[in-house]
Structure 1
């Protein structure tokens, strides 16, 4: 590790493919985490995935042998909810995603609306159906703004690659002619949110 890295006050750390791959912890991670703590560094695990909450990510790392508080995790679902709350407080959304995304939106003050929402929000989902796509397309054509939690086309699992948010959003973008606004990496927005949560500057 270089002196420049050792001198950093805080670290934002990716997860998939960096900390673990599927359900397998990658080499060197426990030692790195031990160094962060022993050195008094601030750290935050940042993931583009919107399907798990910080609590669920905490539990996943615990199963892999790492004890990390839920406050050390930040997700694209949380960043998306925070961004939308800054744009239209108390607005409404039609969301395609898992419970972590829905709960983040609820916690940010949004209500679910399948008739005339302000936003159509899409994240990773195991409940992605033709009916949901059709409804999303019609709502966007009626004026709802299209938002993606991240632009990733695929995500890694132990069984192989799976479609991610960018791939799930593609049919909606193509059918409507509207390009989604993506909150997650590489958008600097999510990094600014993470830095603020970490209490650090670049």
Structure 2
């Protein structure tokens, strides 16, 4: 196990649940900043801009800046801009996705787009599904910000971007390029921003299917924190289902902080 010098940190389930900060999250980030340990907040959430995410963290008492946030929407936009600079794109998503596409120099086009980029869209309709199916049938390439089937909310679970994608795939037969976790594309995007390699990087998260699998696919180290989706009772089952084992398991964020500080010395 190499000496990790940079960390990609998941948000919901790891640092907070909804609008409730997990114990020790503020101390973890304070300690990393104080010790100049490189990190990024990395999220599959495509609905918020990096500024929105940073503000949400700040409101809970977690120190965060906009340039420390890496979203699947930004990674998707920059992926397309690298493949085809200035491409025309039809967004199926919310504010965070639209702003990311604009920032990457892509042109929004709901006529004959070269790409369809889809994320969470809580105003998704049959008409949008129809348009998307037609765009893809006419040759548009399909990019999915993240494959999450369900999302937590204050009222309970709600359908995620992956559920919408299932309808699009059923209608078109087109499999999307997936950007967010468990894909390694989002991880590589974050590492490129930090200027580090996979063997210098560890992913911190609570979800075996997304965070830990993404880290493993990207060749990074993995630190599982038992603060969210994964806990002692389901750990063995999730390890079997994912075929992935984390390098280190921590009970809480205090253990994560101690681990990182010890490894940085």
**1:101 pairs with 2:97:** yes
Q: Kindly report the root-mean-square deviation, in angstroms, between the aligned alpha carbons of the 2 structures.
A: 1.4
Structure 1: state its 5+ residue gaps.
none
Instruction: Deviation per CA, 1:14-66: give whole Å up to 9, x if none.
Output: 01110111111111211211221222201100001100111001110111112
Aligned residue for 1:44, secondary structure, equals strand
Alignment match, 1:55: 51
Deviation at 1:199, TM superposition (A): 2.2
In structure 2, what is the Cα distance between the partners aligned to 1:131 and 1:112? 18
Aligned residue for 2:4, secondary structure, equals coil
In structure 1, what is the Cα distance between the partners aligned to 2:132 and 2:104? 21
In structure 2, what is the Cα distance between the partners aligned to 1:30 and 1:59? 14
Alignment match, 2:234: none
Please say if residues 21 and 157 of structure 1, whose CA atoms lie closer than 8 Å, have aligned partners that are also in contact: no
In structure 1, what is the Cα distance between the partners aligned to 2:101 and 2:124? 18
Instruction: Deviation per CA, 1:152-199: give whole Å up to 9, x if none.
Output: 111122322111111011111101111111111111111111011122
In structure 2, what is the Cα distance between the partners aligned to 1:27 and 1:156? 19
**1:133 pairs with 2:129:** yes
> TM-score w.r.t. structure 2 length?
0.72
Alignment match, 1:116: 112
1:31 to 27, 42, 66: 27
Alignment match, 1:147: 143
After superposing on structure 2, the runs of 4+ consecutive aligned residues of structure 1 that deviate more than 4 Å are none
Please say if residues 25 and 62 of structure 2, whose CA atoms lie closer than 8 Å, have aligned partners that are also in contact: no
Q: How many residue pairs align between the two structures?
A: 198
In structure 1, what is the Cα distance between the partners aligned to 2:137 and 2:131? 10
1:156 to 152, 166, 185: 152
Please say if residues 77 and 104 of structure 1, whose CA atoms lie closer than 8 Å, have aligned partners that are also in contact: yes
Structure 2: state its 5+ residue gaps.
199-265
Alignment match, 1:169: 165
Alignment match, 1:85: 81
In structure 2, what is the Cα distance between the partners aligned to 1:181 and 1:160? 29
